[in-house]
A and B are shown apart, each in its own frame.
Chain A
């Protein structure tokens, strides 16, 4: 098992903020819009550096989506930021018509995704957002795993011409991927070569999957581990290549089973190479208040649950 070193806990939203600032420095067409959550979504550095390219929208997300679409027509590259729930479900129709169907180059940047938002509770903890966004034709859906990768993703999306949903979170989590890494949209990152089972994880669950794989190795179970930072378009080839080798798969995500990475993977398998699959995800329930650590445990989203799912999947081979 390849070793991954935590270089210190950091929040992925700060990775986004750093990436947005860097994208703004590299490309004068990058503009940003925020709905009264500058500090929370970490867009403050960009707003301070490029005040004329930053648009405060107030607590009015629907207008923010439309204004971003309008800005994009002339070649601007708008990043809109808010909490994940407020830039997806709240404005689904605006995104559908003015971004996805109109094919505008808007980057929807969603912080505080998932249950790890913590104490604010279920109103703010959206776990349906990946499903909502991936259903929209043409929408790219990205969920990076740590600070460095979120920074790289925030820079990379400016180079891609089209609608993107970029999902990240609030809590400080291990930062273990390379600084200044290349981020290729739609390309899975192989974290470990194994033979007994495939594990694909996205977002905060990638670190948990690494811990699970290390523990399983000690029990003699070899894990082929993929970081799926792009849920759509999904790197189907990487997943199929791995499952053809291992014969079983576990998916891990901070999202509902419905609409999540697991269902995307299952769809690929059913049509190409049926194999036992287990989902580490939340089954048809809302979140609640608590610390991120408490909630990950309560909702079955940790290394222990991934390891248990691996054993179930292998037993079904």
Chain B
């Protein structure tokens, strides 16, 4: 499917999916989903070696992706469906009673592509580090990717995991921070400033790459560089992707106010008018 569309076209459709899912459910988290859309599209349609039709939870023989920031479920479900893990029509069940598409990702209902429950923040980097350690024990050279938010990096467990991954030289672990600068109560700078994030990760013993998380060339170059470093070094890699909260929808962009708020039907129409339908809506 990915071969028929450019990454930019896919990203546009994913953004439409996000808006429509959240509007349908009258709940969910559009802001961070939209800021991480381009990164997630690049990962699932270009970067990752994966086999959506034959997915199993062991992740053996494939690259793995873990979503630490579970509230980004709209973008996660969209790229999973669009890349072939489950039928695209199922996106219409997001957050509906009885759906596999729980508000935050769950493994209880066996949704293909979901390795772990997430939603309580700060845990995914640890899980990804463990998965990377298992791959090394198994003699695999596949990558484990994990996406987290910058606000999420206020959780102490992130830094515990940072030390663990460096200590155990998990060089096939590639973490991505959706660095949109916003969290529920306001800007990250005002709520709990993270200081020099780049220097922090470097001092924790990681290779750090900073990129523009909305420019496909920049995103792909960052992943290429990450792979190169993984092959030549023992350090895990942190990609700090500079993004805008709510990217692609003018009234949602650059503000924390759409972190966890659903658009009305009117606002939905207004948002969709700004996003080209490329692959067909669900």
Query: Interface of A with B (CB < 8 Å)?
Result: 31, 52-53, 55-58, 60, 62-76, 78, 93-94, 96-98, 101-104
Contacts and interface: CB of A to CB of B under 8 A. Distances in A.
Contacts of B134: 70-76
11 contacts: A55-B168, A60-B157, A62-B160, A65-B126, A66-B161, A70-B127, A73-B58, A73-B59, A76-B134, A97-B123, A103-B108
B245 interface: no
B156 interface: yes
A72 B144 CA distance: 14
Contacts of A68: 130
B210 to A, nearest CB: 25
Interface stretch (B41-49, B114-122, B197-205, B212-220): B114-122
A197 B154 CA distance: 55
Interface residue tally on B, bucketed by range: 35 or more
A66 B168 contact: no
A58 B163 contact: yes
Given A97-B119, A101-B106, A102-B117, A70 B160 contact: no
Contact of B167 (A56, A96, A97): A56
Contact of B138 (A57, A70, A74): A74
B69 interface: no
B172 interface: no
Given A63-B126, A70-B126, A93-B120, A55 B133 contact: yes
A103 B138 CA distance: 22
B122 to A, nearest CB: 8
A67 B116 contact: no
Given A55-B133, A66-B157, 17 more contacts: A55-B164, A56-B167, A62-B126, A66-B123, A66-B130, A67-B130, A69-B116, A70-B133, A72-B130, A72-B134, A73-B58, A73-B116, A73-B130, A76-B134, A76-B137, A94-B126, A102-B107
Contacts of A66: 123-127, 129-130, 157, 161
| Chain A contact surface mostly | helix
Nearest to B131: A70
B57 interface: yes
B58 A74 contact: yes
B70 to A, nearest CB: 9
Given A76-B137, A97-B120, A60 B127 contact: no
A63 B130 CA distance: 9
Nearest to A97: B120
A96 B157 CA distance: 15
Contacts of B126: 62-67, 69-70, 94, 98
B247 interface: no
A28 B60 CA distance: 17
A76 B137 CA distance: 9
Nearest to A68: B130
Interface in B125-161: 125-135, 137-138, 144, 156-157, 160-161
Nearest to A33: B130
Contacts of B132: 70
Given A98-B116, A98-B123, A102-B116, A70 B129 contact: yes
Nearest to B138: A74
Nearest to A61: B160
A53 B137 contact: yes
Contacts of A104: 116
Contacts of B108: 101, 103
A60 B168 contact: no
B131 A74 contact: yes
Contacts of A57: 164
Interface in B219-261: none
